[in-house]
Every structure is written in structure tokens, then in C-alpha cells.
Chain A
Amino acid sequence: MSDPHDDRQGDAARRPLPGAPVSLDRRQLLGTLGGAALVGLAKPAAAETSAAAHVTDAPRSALTQERIPCLGRHQAGVTTPRPAAGMVASFFVLAETRAELERLFRTLTARIAFLTQGGPQSDPDPKLPPAGSGILGPVVPPDALTITVSLGASLFDQRYGLAGFKPKRLQQMQRHPNDALDAALCHGDLSIQFCANTPDTNIHALRDIIKNTPDLLVLHWKQEGSVPPIPASNGRPPESARNFLGFRDGSANPDSADAALMDRIVWVQPGSDEPAWAAYGTYQAVRIIRNFVERWDRTPLQEQEAIFGRVKSTGAPLDGGRSEHEVPDYTKDAQGERTPLDSHIRLANPRTPQSEANLILRRPFNYSNGVTKSGQLEMGLLFICYQADLEQGFIAVQKRLDGEPLEEYIKPIGGGFFYTLPGVRDEQDWLGRTLLQASA
């Protein structure tokens, strides 16, 4: 899609960092801090001219200018290739009227346009708090940031007159038998998924949004995650990143570059049984799934592989092949002698004509949060997936997985279901417009 806005922002973002001396205002301010402070601040500037390397020099990235268009029929961040860092934040909406809800959507739209396209953020008056956190410097780099906004079932209550306009399959996430859901990590009125090349870019964006919506949103929970990169070019086809259990996660994911396939699996289409406003949106399922990694690491390799249904080193299916890209043929293994019938991949996707309807687009990140009360690592998977039909998609797949042997090593503790709004078409458009217009 073409986006003239994109280019203009791009020029601004590509402008070199201002190397000019500090502004007059700035110097006046420093003057009031006294001589000692001024000397202290002047030193690094002098050292800048020398090329000496310091351990604290910022790591270099060739990717900071990667820019993902934020306008289009669909929101970015769903079929966009997954970068190294992800985050999901869930909020309560405090807007008291539909007008305030619209202000929230318009504000989010404007912040997303700025943050994802990048550009300078200026602070003309040093006596006021700065406009942004400044953690990425005065010119915000796009860094492949995408920001994806989705709505929880609770937003479609009586508050805004949206009750009759809830997407048909949107519901509060229900507990599955192996879940130990923590209310402090579940559900929410609105979710925002941030994806970027570096975690700092996601944090910058989250802080910007919080700062710009204090009377409209209050943070409920958030979870960050990452995926380990592989060498830039090793002469081999793309590989799926590994999860914290050491297995490749995403091997059988549908091809997100295949637009027709995405229209079938991911995007709600006009003329479906969903409300008309919801066309080109999608259902988002988020699960925070703790992994018992110490125990997993003490499990025999063949047992790990039987539980997943794949060879750990290559990701190949257990019925043969050398790579994760080879497709298992369960018709030749009806008894599950090669790939156990209760293995994770076989339950998740039995590859029958019927299970074609249950395909989902996964977009998971690994998370690591510290230490449990028992002194074990609190880490696991920030599972995110998208589908045009939540019931046929995530819910059906998870029901098949209920009781799988992997459950001994995992414990879902949070997450929620959300409806990802249709995209922002152009610079006049805003997130949620079709919903608010349809329900006006």
C-alpha cells in the first residue's frame, strides 16, 4: 500500500542528529545548576571528538530505520514478520462517554502514526516536562515497530452502547483444565501488542501511550518477550525461532506472505456472519504460559521429542525428514508409532481435512520474569495467535491439546481474548471508526 505520509516522516527520521552546540535556553538552564554541574556535563562532549572505544558504547544495529507502514486495510503487526522483541499490554478503559472513547481511539491512532514511522520530538521549553521519555534519543527511530490495538469482550458492555456490536465469537477467556489463571494477568478492555527490533523501542512506545492517555487508560497487565535471532545469512532457508523448551516454535505456521491464505485463516471478511464494522479485523488470543524449565531440562531427550512430536535439533517431524519444513504424514502412522497420537504437534494440527478449519497464525515470544517463591525460574511463552474464527481457531486447538503430556511442564497463568480492530485506511481515518459509526 502506498503511504505519502510514510515518506515525509521518513525524511524527518533520516535527518542526521543535530550536532550543534546546546541551545541558548539549555545553556541558561545549565548555568543555574552551578559551575560543578556544568563542568561535569561538558566533559563527555569534549571526549566525543576522540574515537576511543568504551565498554558503554551503544551496540550498533543496521535495523533502526526499518519502517512498517501503519496505514492499510489491516492493522500492522499481525501478518508482519515477527521481529526480535514483543510485548502485550492490557488496559482498562476509563473513558466515560462515547465521545471520550472516540478521543481514546483518535489519540492512539495519532501516537501509533508517530511512533511507528519515527521522527523528531522537540522540547522547546526546558521548564516543562519533556514531551516523551527520550529513551531512544531526540529523533525516534521506527525500528520496525508495529502497534496493534484489540478490544476485549468487556468493552462491549453497557458503557458505550456497544453491546449489540460485539464480534460474534468474542468472549472472556475461559479456564482450561491445566490453567492456573491469575486474575491480575487476565483479560482487559483493550490490548496493545508492540513488536519491534529492540525491547527498548516497545518500552518507549508503551510509555508514550501511557503518558498521552492518563485519563482514558489504566494499565492492567503487561508481558514482554523476545525471540533468539539466528545468523543473518547461513545459506539455509528461514528457520523458526526456538522457545524456552528448546524446540522450534512456528514450524507449521501458515505462510503470512500468502494474502489469499491470510484472508481465509486470519482476516474476518466482509459479508461473513460477523458485524459489518469488523471486516478486516481478526481475533487475538494471548496466553502467558509458564514453562517449568528446570524439570524440562531434566527430562530425557527422547521423551521431550515424543512430547512435542519433533526432533529437537532440527525440528523435523518424527516420521522422517531433515528439516522442520517437512510435513509429517500421519496417514501412514495411524497408530502413532512414529509420532505419538498425544504429541503436541499432532494434537494441535492433526492435518485432517476437518482440522484445516482450525488453522491459526501464531506469533509467540519467549518471556523471562525472575524467580518464583520456590526459587525456580519464572519463564515461558507469551503465546499470541490470530484467527478469523476464535472458536474454530484457538479454542478448538486448545481443547484438543487439553490433557496433552506437555502439560506436566507448562502452566498457563494469564492472557485474554481480544478483537483486533480493522486497519486505519488513510490519514483521516482512525482506529475503531467503523465500530463507533456502526453503533452511533
Chain B
Amino acid sequence: MYLSRFMIRIAAILTLGLSAGAVLGAVSPLELVAPVADYKLYVAENARKLVADTRNFTAAVKAGDIEKAKQLFAPTRMNYERIEPLAELFSDLDSAIDSRADDHEQAEQDPDFGGFHRIEYALWVEKSTKNVEVVADKLLSDVVELQKRLTALTFPPEKVVGGAAVLMEEVAATKISGEEDRYSHTDLWDFQANFEGAYKIVELLRPLVVKQDKAFADKTDANFKMVFDTLQKYRSADGGFETYQKLAERDRKLLAGRVNTLAEDLSKLRGMLGLN
């Protein structure tokens, strides 16, 4: 579906008028319209790709093609991981698409455990797709529904601006340990996507941030560069990533430190741009 940039901007102006209120900083709500609109396009593109890739992924699962499904698992997820701050706004879908075994009382055996990680468990641990055919259907219908809802959503600017920090908080709290993709150990793909998603927001806001605090913008850029450079060391020949176990302890600590720093710094972004 094509959304005119103009319509998005109008919608964004309306939202900003309601939520930003009296702006204390030097950034006017109107200045946020363009970056929020551009971010909506970025999310729309990732949602479109998520649906397309999930269609292929679930088709492989249903066809019992374990090797192909394994190959598609991590790249398919990246589309979701890039836009997680917005995707998570729909908690029913987020839980259905991306919950982990330990979100459920009976862990892997819990009948409510579905989504990507249930299929991951089937592919890497059960080594069979016969238990997850229904799960695959449900996953596809859930991502289609997600795309629909994201398209209809008027993006709250504070969620967009705050999204960069949200991604870093999630990596810092529950991903850096390698617990997200515990069966496939494809965590580095998720890290890359989370960083890309966060950096996209920072990139779009950069002109505004520079006006407020140039040193902050430069420091944040440098920290992003550091995490991308670190992950780059773990690129595999086919353009993917090595498994999480290959991540050197020193690099894991460095990543953790940079993620903490980004989380700490990006937590100031909303306030800096005068958002509640």
C-alpha cells in the first residue's frame, strides 16, 4: 500500500499538536514532522519485507524443508527487529510473534508458546516441523495483521524518538547474553537489526540533535560506529553472521558497554527534542 508522504505529515502534525504541548526545548513540533514521516516509510518498508520473507519462511516450514527454513529464519527476523519499538506497541501481536519460551510457564512445552522462537525450537532442537505447521500459519497471519495495524497507525513522535533508546534497553537487558535466539544462536543478526533500527531513528533526527548538542550527536555516532565495526568482524562469507558462541568475551563486554552508553545517552533524546 502506498501512503503519501503528505498525508503522513498531516497526521503527524495532528498528533504532535496533541501530545507535545508546550515545547520547552528549541525544537518546534513541526521540525519533527519530516523525520517522523520518513521513519513511517522505513517501518512500512520493513513491514512489507517482513510479510514477504515470513511467507517464504513459513512455506519452507510447512513443506518440511528444515534446511531452507533454518537459512531463512535469521534474515526474516531482522525485518521485525529493526522496527521493534513500533511493532511492540501491539502487545498481543508482539507476544504472539516474538515471545520466548521463558515468557511461558511451561516453557517450550507450553501450548501458548508460538511465533518465531517456537519454530526456531522445532528447527534446531526438535529437528522436525510436524508440530509447528499450525504455528507457521498463525505466524504468517500475525505479521500480516501487524503490517495492517502499522499502516493504520499514526506514529506517536515520542514513541519514534524514544524507540532508539528502547532498542538499546532491550539489547542491554535481555539480548546481549545470547538468550534471544537460544536454539539457533543467530543473535548477532538480531543485534545488527536492532542497531540498524535504532541508528535509523538517530540518523533521521540528527539535524535536530546537532542543533541542540553537537557533541552528543558526535558521541552517539561514534558509539554506533563502534558497535557496527565490532559486529562486522563476525560477518560470515555469505553475508550473514557467525553464531553467538563465536563472539569473543572481550567483544561481548565491549558491545555491552557501548549498548549501555547508547541506552544512557539516547534516554535523553526525547527530552532534548522537547517531547514528553
**Which residues does A use to contact B, with CB under 8 Å?**
28-29, 32, 92, 94, 125, 127-129, 211, 214-218
A125, B270: Cα distance in complex, Å: 12
**Nearest opposing residue in chain A for B254, CB measure:** A94
Distance in angstroms from A220 CB to nearest chain B CB is: 9
What residues of chain A lie closer than 8 Å to B267, measured between beta carbons?
129
B residues near A (Cβ < 8 Å) are 21-22, 24-25, 223, 253-254, 256-258, 260-261, 263-264, 267-268, 270-272, 274-276
**Distance, CA A92 to CA B21, complexed state (A):** 43
Contacts A125-B24, A127-B274, A128-B272 known; 18 new A-B pairs at CB < 8 A: A29-B276, A92-B253, A127-B25, A127-B276, A128-B268, A128-B271, A129-B268, A129-B271, A214-B257, A214-B260, A214-B261, A214-B264, A215-B223, A215-B261, A216-B257, A217-B257, A218-B256, A218-B260
Bound-state Cα–Cα, A125 to B267, Å: 13
Q: Which of A125, A215, A216 contacts B271 (CB 8 A)?
A: A125
Contact A127 B257 (CB under 8 A): no
Does B263 contact A28, Cβ atoms closer than 8 Å?
Answer: no
Q: Which of B256, B264, B275 contacts A127 (CB 8 A)?
A: B275
Q: Which residues of A contact B260 (CB under 8 A)?
A: 214-215, 218
Complex formed: what's the CA distance from A32 to B270 in Å? 16
B263 contacts which of A32, A94, A214, A217 (Cβ < 8 Å)?
A214
Nearest residue (CB) in B for A189 is: B253
Give the residue among A32, A129, A215 with the most B Cβ atoms within 10 A. A215
Contact of A215 (CB < 8 Å), options: B22, B257, B276: B257
4 tightest Cβ-Cβ pairs between the two chains A and B: A127-B271, A128-B271, A214-B260, A215-B261
Number of A-B contacts (CB under 8 A): 40
Chain A residues whose C-beta falls within 8 Å of the C-beta of B276 in the assembled complex: 29, 32, 127
> Judging by beta carbons under 8 Å apart, are A94 and B253 in contact?
yes
Question: CB distance A28 to B264 under 8 Å?
Answer: no
CB-CB under 8 A from A216, the residues of chain B are 257
Residues of B within 8 A of A28 (CB): 22
Interface of B is mostly: helix
Q: What are 27 sample pairs from A and B whose C-beta atoms fall under 8 A apart?
A: A28-B22, A32-B21, A32-B276, A92-B253, A94-B253, A125-B24, A125-B271, A127-B24, A127-B25, A128-B271, A128-B272, A129-B267, A129-B268, A214-B257, A214-B260, A214-B261, A214-B263, A215-B223, A215-B257, A215-B258, A215-B260, A215-B261, A216-B257, A218-B253, A218-B256, A218-B257, A218-B260
Determine whether the beta carbon of A127 is less than 8 Å from that of B270.
yes
- Expressed in whole angstroms, the minimum distance between the Cβ of B219 and any Cβ of chain A is 9
- Separation in Å of the A33 CB from the closest CB of chain B? 9
Chain B residues contacting A214 (CB-CB under 8 Å) are 257, 260-261, 263-264
Q: B270 — which chain A residues lie within 8 A by C-beta?
A: 127
Q: Min CB distance, A356 to chain B, in Å?
A: 42
| A-side contacts of B261, CB under 8 Å | 214-215
Complex Cα gap A28–B254 (Å): 40
The answer for the CA separation of A216 and B267 in the assembled complex, in Å, is: 18
The answer to whether B268 touches A94 (Cβ under 8 A) is no
With both beta carbons as reference points, the residue of chain B lying nearest to A215 in the complex is identified as B261
Residue of A nearest to B23 (CB): A127
Q: How far is the CA of A217 from the CA of B264 in the complex (A)?
A: 13
**Contacting residues, chain A, for B272 (C-beta < 8 A):** 128
A188 to B: closest C-beta gap in Å: 11
Instruction: Please name the residue on chain A nearest to B165 by beta carbon.
Output: A129
Q: How distant is the Cα of A214 from the Cα of B275 in the complex, in angstroms?
A: 24
User: In the complex, what distance in Å separates the CA atom of A244 from the CA atom of B67?
Assistant: 55
A32 to B274 Cα, complex, angstroms:
14
How long is the Cα–Cα vector from A229 to B223 in the complex, in angstroms?
A: 47
Q: Is the CB of B257 within 8 A of A94?
A: yes
Q: Which of B257, B267, B272 has the most CB of A within 10 A?
A: B257
Least distance between A190 CB and chain B CB atoms (Å): 13
Q: Across the interface, which residues of A come within 8 angstroms of B271, CB to CB?
A: 125, 127-129
A92 to B275, CA, bound (A): 35
A125 to B253, CA, bound (A): 32
Q: Name the distance in Å between B212's Cβ and chain A's nearest Cβ.
A: 12
Q: What residues on B are CB-neighbors of A94 within 8 Å?
A: 253-254, 257
Most buried by B among A29, A32, A94, A127: A127
Interchain CA distance A32-B24 in the complex, whole Å? 14
Query: Which residues of B sit under 8 angstroms from A127, Cβ to Cβ?
Result: 24-25, 270-271, 274-276
Chain B residue numbers with a CB within 8 Å of A128 are: 268, 271-272
In the assembled complex, the Cα of A218 lies from the Cα of B260 at a distance in Å of 9
Q: Closest chain A residue to B25 by CB distance?
A: A127
- C-alpha spacing A92/B257, complex, angstroms: 10
Q: Could you tell me the distance between the alpha carbons of A129 and B264 in the complex, rounded to whole angstroms?
A: 9
Residues of B within 8 A of A129 (CB): 267-268, 271
Docked Cα-Cα span, A215 to B168, in Å, equals 14
- In the assembled complex, which residues on chain B have CB atoms less than 8 Å from the CB atom of A32? 21, 276
Residues of B within 8 A of A29 (CB): 276
Per the bound structure, the CA–CA distance linking A155 and B271 in Å amounts to: 37
Chain B's closest residue to A28 (CB) is B22
* Cβ distance B112 to chain A, nearest Cβ, rounded Å: 26
| Closest CB in chain B relative to A194 CB, distance in Å | 20
A29, B272: Cα distance in complex, Å = 15
Least CB distance from A25 to B in Å reads 8
The minimal Cβ–Cβ distance linking B222 to chain A, given in whole angstroms, is 10
Residues of B close to A92: CB separation below 8 A: 253
- Could you tell me the distance in whole angstroms from the C-beta of B91 to the nearest C-beta in chain A? 22
Determine which residue in A32, A94, A125, A214 has the highest number of CB atoms from chain B within 10 A of its CB, and name it: A214
CA distance A92 to B268 in the complex (A): 26
For the complex formed, measure the closest distance between the CB of B44 and the CB atoms of chain A, giving whole angstroms.
Answer: 29
Which residues of chain B come closer than 8 Å to A218, judged between CB atoms? 253, 256-257, 260
Q: How far is the CA of A211 from the CA of B256 in the complex (A)?
A: 14
Alpha-carbon gap, A32 to B21, bound state (A): 8
Residues in B with CB closer than 8 Å to A215 are: 223, 257-258, 260-261
- Tell me, rounded to whole Å, the shortest Cβ–Cβ distance linking A91 to chain B: 10
Closest residue of chain A to B275 (Cβ to Cβ) is A127
- In the assembled complex, how far is the CB of residue B27 from the closest CB belonging to chain A, in whole angstroms? 11
Residue on B nearest A94 in the bound complex, by CB: B257
B84 to chain A, nearest CB (A): 21
B257 → A minimal CB distance (Å): 4
Least CB distance from A421 to B in Å reads 22
Residues of A close to B263: CB separation below 8 A = 214
Question: Which residue of chain A has the shortest Cβ distance to B21 in the bound complex?
Answer: A32
Chain A nearest CB, measured from B172 CB (Å):
9
Cα distance A125–B273 in the bound complex, in angstroms:
12
